[in-house]
Each structure stands twice: as C-alpha cells, then as structure tokens.
Amino acid sequence: MPAPTLRVFVDFDSDTAFEVNPLILGSATEGILGTNRLGSGTLPIEITDLVTKVGIRRGRNRITSKFEPGTADVVLYDQNGDWNPANPNSAYYPNLVPLRQIIIYATYAGVDYFLFSGFISKYDTGFRQGNEDLSTVTLRCVDGFKLLAGSAVDSIPGSGVQLSGARVNAILDAIEWPISLRDIDAGDSTLQADPGGSRNTLEALQTVENSEFGGIFLDAEGKINFVSRNNLITIPATSVYDFSDTGVDISYTNAVVAFDDTTLINDVTVTRSGGTAQNAYDQPSIDKYFLHSGKRDGILVQTNTEALNQAKGILATRKDPEVRIDSIQLNLYDDTNPNKPLAGVDIEILDGVTVTKTMPGSSSVTQPSLVNAIHHDITKSSWMTTLYTSEPLLAGFVLDSAISGILGEDVLSY
C-alpha cells in the first residue's frame, strides 16, 4: 500500500473566527455538504502542489514538562513572489498577514487524518542564490496554545467549588473558546474556587492540570483535550498500537533507550493553595541514589490529604530508576506493514502504545507508554514520524490489565 498523501490548506479569511469543521473541496471526510461548513469568507485554498517540505512538532519533551505550543514549518516554492506579503501583484494580496489559519492533514487508505491545525505566525523568504536554487518561503506556524498563552484572564465566572473538568470549561468559556473545539473529561478531583488574579489562560488551565494530575493538550484538529487523572493512568494499559523489533507487531527504527536518573524522584513535596506542605520520601532510595527532590506548589485541591496522596503517588512510581524507551521512529514510506503508515498518521498525543526493544544478552524491554510528543518530517520522497514515549508520571493498579494489574508490582492510585 502506498504512503500517506500530504495535503495543506490555508484559510485567508480576514476575521479571527475559528473555522470549526471547515469544508475542504476534494476531501472524502472534510468535503461533506451538510456536515462541513463554509468559512465566513473564501474557501480554504489548497497549496499542496507548492509544498516541498513540512516539519511538525507537537507535545512535550519529557513526562515532567508541560505541553508546549505545537509548531509547523511549511516550505513552499515561490518563484514568482506570490508569497511576498508586500507584492501587490500576488494572487493572495493583501491577505498574507499573520495568524491566518492553516490545516495540514494526511490521507491514507481513503481516510483523512489531521496532522496540524493552527495559524501562520511568520512568512520567511528564502531568496534564490544560484542557478540551481529555487526561491522559497517558509510558513512558520503555531497552534492554538499560543493564543491561550496570549490571552489574559482574571476572575473566572462560574468557577466555585467544582470538578476539574468543569473548571477547564469555565476558563475556556471566559475567553469564548468554541464548544466544538473541546474534548473535556469530567475529572476526578474537586477543586477550590478559582483564586483569581491576572494570568494568561494557558497558565490558568495548567494549574487545573497540575491540581487534577491529568493532562491538557491541543490535538491535531485544534481541539483542547483535558484527560482526567484516572484515565491518564489507565491509557497505557489499553494500547492502540504495539511496536516491536522482533518481527511481530509494527517495526520501527532508531529506538532511543535510556537508563539514568532523569525521572528519579525520592523526596516529594506538594503544597495546595491555602494549605501546608505535604512531604513523602523514601530513605532507601535516597541512601542508594542520593537525594532527588521535586515539588508542586499552588495546586487547588481541597485538602492536605489529597496533596499528600499526590506526593505519595509520585514517590511510589519514581523512587527507583528504570530502563526507558524514550522514542521510536517510523518510516511511513515503508509499506511492508500497512499498519505502520496508519499508526504514523493516526496516533495522537497521550494515546497508549506498547514498545518492545530487544537488548544485548538475549533480554528485552517492553514498555506500556503514553505518547508525549509527535514529530513529522516530510519531503516529496520521504516521511519520518518520531514518537516520544514514557510511562506515566503517576501510575496505578488497573483491574483486569495484564500489564498494569499485577499484584505485588503495581500500586493503587488515589
């Protein structure tokens, strides 16, 4: 089966409204009358034929880091200066301005998969410098996380004592983020009333994320996803794709395996807003690996007991180093297994995958993981997708799971 087909569209509408479920001509899934809708101005314009290279970066670098704004660099041939914002003869003039929407997706086996939805933040011109060179322009793109980081909030209407998912929705309501661009779990923790005070929207959302011990990210379609703590714990136990180098499952290349102290934490302090510091530590781990401290401040849980449970949960899963598989790479032009290109375009951030790596000495490592980041590097003749993986920062016992329900090995979460 051939590799996925890349398609890129730009929406030159002159307003800042979000295009939800836009109509894209020629698409089997995004060109359905009565389902997909026209924008407020012109149709999105397809620029795929001009594209020579695409690089997409979405997610976070480490399990202990926050999710960052996603980015995409789209390199176009531009022999005639059509993508010069100052060229009045351009077919796109005067609409080559920052923050126009861009959609990048792949078609595979007749199905469309979003890879990136965001906004053009910058037009970088690459001038021809020789007879063999072609003039290019690079569209520097960011996703909606940048809009969240650039919008301020103070008091949040309707944000009294409530579940974490309701708090996320209240914050998004305050900036009029579209309901159709949300996928919000109810949450497991009941939070204090929002403390108020000037901060940006992304900071307010990440405070909820830390309080719940869940996950907030922007998916490839541009939707804000909020994953609850218990769902985040159970996701690795239900893998959507299995990868291995044993000839069974989906093959991969360039696995990065690590065994170090990067995720080691043996002294944890968690302090809730209005509460006292709650500490948990493991002396045998400190004696063996030295002191590795971590802290979480300002979370909005209601009791010191829940703050202490967070500290104990982190300690239980991070007090001992383990062999990790940090990333794997997929060549989507490898058609020996049709599930490989399918996995490359279908997997989303915080999906569960299982990776098996054969090690020297006839041993192997099998890691049930969360996908923390997805990178695509695409040219006219190649497509490499890198998945950055890790075990959850907070793990737990999952009933009836063969990999996360083992008595004596897995611990109950709070």
Tally the C-alpha atoms within 13 A of residue 84's C-alpha that lie toward its C-beta: 13
How far from 359 is each of 106, 131, 325, 353, CA to CA, in Å?
A: 34, 50, 11, 19
Q: What is the mean pLDDT of the chain?
A: 88
Average pLDDT over residues 363-374: 94
Phi-psi sector, 362: left (phi>0), alpha (psi -120 to 50), beta: left
Q: Examine the pLDDT at 232 and tell me if it is beyond 80.
A: yes
For residue 204, give the H/E element and its range: helix 201-212
Average pLDDT over residues 41-45: 67
Average pLDDT over residues 132-144: 88
For residue 229, give the H/E element and its range: helix 229-234
Average pLDDT over residues 165-189: 96
Query: How many whole angstroms separate alpha carbon 275 and alpha carbon 269?
Result: 12
Backbone angles phi, psi at 269, to 5 degrees: -125, 125
Give the tokens for residue 396. Answer: 């737990």
pLDDT score recorded for residue 393: 77
pLDDT in tens, 84-102: 988 999 988 888 999 999 9
Query: How many whole angstroms separate alpha carbon 25 and alpha carbon 79?
Result: 26
Q: Examine the pLDDT at 43 and tell me if it is beyond 70.
A: no
Can you give the C-alpha Rg of the chain in angstroms?
23
Average pLDDT over residues 278-296: 97
Beta carbons within 10 angstroms of residue 102's beta carbon: 22
pLDDT score recorded for residue 414: 66
Q: Would you say 185 and 226 are in contact if contact means Cβ atoms under 8 Å apart? A: yes
Q: Examine the pLDDT at 109 and tell me if it is beyond 60.
A: yes
β-bridge mates for residue 344, sequence order: none
Confidence of residue 398 (pLDDT cuts 50, 70, 90): very low
Beta carbons within 10 angstroms of residue 41's beta carbon: 13
Query: How many whole angstroms separate alpha carbon 155 and alpha carbon 153?
Result: 7
Provide the 3-class DSSP secondary structure of residue 148: helix
Query: How many whole angstroms separate alpha carbon 338 and alpha carbon 160?
Result: 50
Nearest to 71 by CA among 8, 146, 161: 146
Confidence of residue 362 (pLDDT cuts 50, 70, 90): confident
pLDDT score recorded for residue 64: 64
Burial code (b: 16+ CB inside 10 Å, e: under 16) for 247-263 equals eebbbbeebeeeeeeeb
pLDDT score recorded for residue 160: 87
Nearest to 100 by CA among 8, 38, 177, 10: 10
Type of residue numbered 152: A
Nearest to 24 by CA among 37, 40, 12: 37
Q: Examine the pLDDT at 36 and tell me if it is beyond 70.
A: no
Q: How would you list the strands of the sheet with 215-218, edge to edge? A: 182-184, 224-227, 215-218
Mean pLDDT lowest among 36-50, 82-96, 345-359: 36-50
Query: How many whole angstroms separate alpha carbon 228 and alpha carbon 220?
Result: 19
Query: How many whole angstroms separate alpha carbon 231 and alpha carbon 39?
Result: 35
Confidence of residue 281 (pLDDT cuts 50, 70, 90): very high
Average pLDDT over residues 106-123: 95
Q: Examine the pLDDT at 30 and tell me if it is beyond 90.
A: no
Q: Would you say 98 and 85 are in contact if contact means Cβ atoms under 8 Å apart? A: no
Confidence of residue 14 (pLDDT cuts 50, 70, 90): low
Unique residue bearing structure tokens 């985040």? 232
Query: How many whole angstroms separate alpha carbon 49 and alpha carbon 6?
Result: 10
Give the tokens for residue 408. Answer: 């004596």
Task: Indicate the pTM of the whole model.
Answer: 0.90
Tally the C-alpha atoms within 13 A of residue 311's C-alpha that lie toward its C-beta: 25
Q: Would you say 302 and 329 are in contact if contact means Cβ atoms under 8 Å apart? A: no
pLDDT score recorded for residue 279: 98
pLDDT score recorded for residue 410: 46
* Direct distance between the N- and C-terminal alpha carbons of the chain, in angstroms, rounded to an integer: 46
Type of residue numbered 130: G
Mean pLDDT lowest among 36-45, 111-120, 204-213, 270-279: 36-45
Query: How many whole angstroms separate alpha carbon 375 and alpha carbon 389?
Result: 12
Average pLDDT over residues 143-154: 93
Q: Would you say 224 and 200 are in contact if contact means Cβ atoms under 8 Å apart? A: no
Tally the C-alpha atoms within 13 A of residue 17's C-alpha that lie toward its C-beta: 12
Confidence of residue 13 (pLDDT cuts 50, 70, 90): confident
Mean pLDDT lowest among 11-25, 66-80, 335-349, 387-401: 11-25
**Residues 6+ away with beta carbon under 8 Å from 371:** 59, 347, 348, 349, 350, 351, 352, 353, 387, 388, 389
